[in-house]
Amino acid sequence: MSPIDRLIIEFDTALRSVVGGANAERPTPGPELSLNNSLDAAERKHAAGLMRVNHVGEVCAQALYQSQKLVARDPQIQEMLNHSAQEEMDHLAWCETRLQELGSHTSYLNPLWYAGSFAIGLAAGLAGDKWSLGFVAETEKQVENHLESHLKTLPKDDQRSRAIVDQMRMDEIEHGQAAKNAGGATLPESIQKMMQAMSKVMTSTAYKI
């Protein structure tokens, strides 16, 4: 692919993340399960808030993987990043689908989340493969913990959201492992804490808007 082809594809990905219209390769998990049948208004609102947080997480994942791909030099690492990024695209599409099913919307601040994550990913990438992969691994771990906490608080009868979140959680575990196996270093605790603090701001904002 020429650099121009790549640029156009990356730009298309960025646009789909921010504006919507992500394409999934795998079908949305839980198609056979009831969609909203037994959810009352409050449950539906809560589920939508959580799925919006997850959608923003996936917008950030797109930005992160895109920026990492730009700076990674090793073809093997690039291939690993591409594979994870495609699965993140599935997650993005699934969350978008679920938000529509719940009659809700994606975050109005998506351009901001995308730009911020892209800048952070680029900075991590410039620090070298070992740190950038470490950053990916730590991000995936925090996302995994997050998804696990969502499984505890999602409405019990919202089987559809649960099936989506559970599949995402399993994929994130693999992404984190792949980044570690590719040579990702463990980040200093101070950086891990800072990342947690930033994700707290993101999640509490995205739940509402």
Q: What is the DSSP letter of 25?
A: S
Question: By C-beta, is 39 or 107 nearer to Fe ion?
Answer: 107
Residue number with CB closer to Fe ion (39 or 144): 144
State the nearest-atom distance from the C-beta of 89 to Fe ion, in Å. 9
Residue 97 near residue 28, CB atoms below 8 Å? yes
Any idea what DSSP says for residue 33?
S
Binders of Fe ion among 44-83, rule CB under 5 A?
61
How many amino acids of this chain bind Fe ion (CB under 5 A)? 6
Decide: residue 40, CB within 10 A, 0-12 exposed, 13-18 middle, 19+ buried: exposed
Tell me whether residue 159 or residue 167 sits nearer to Fe ion (CB atom). 167
39/47 with CB nearer Fe ion: 47
Segment 89 to 108, residues that bind Fe ion, using CB under 5 A: 91
> To which residue do tokens 């101070």 refer?
190
- Least distance from Fe ion to the Cβ atom of residue 12, Å: 19
Supply the DSSP string of 90-145, one letter for each residue.
HHHHHHHHHHHHTT----TTHHHHHHHHHHHHHHHHHT-HHHHHHHHHHHHHHHHH
**In this chain, which of 22, 60, 67, 88 binds Fe ion, going by CB under 5 A?**
88
d(CA 38, CA 2): 51
Binders of Fe ion in range 162-201 (CB under 5 A):
172, 175
C-beta of 93: minimal distance to Fe ion in Å? 11
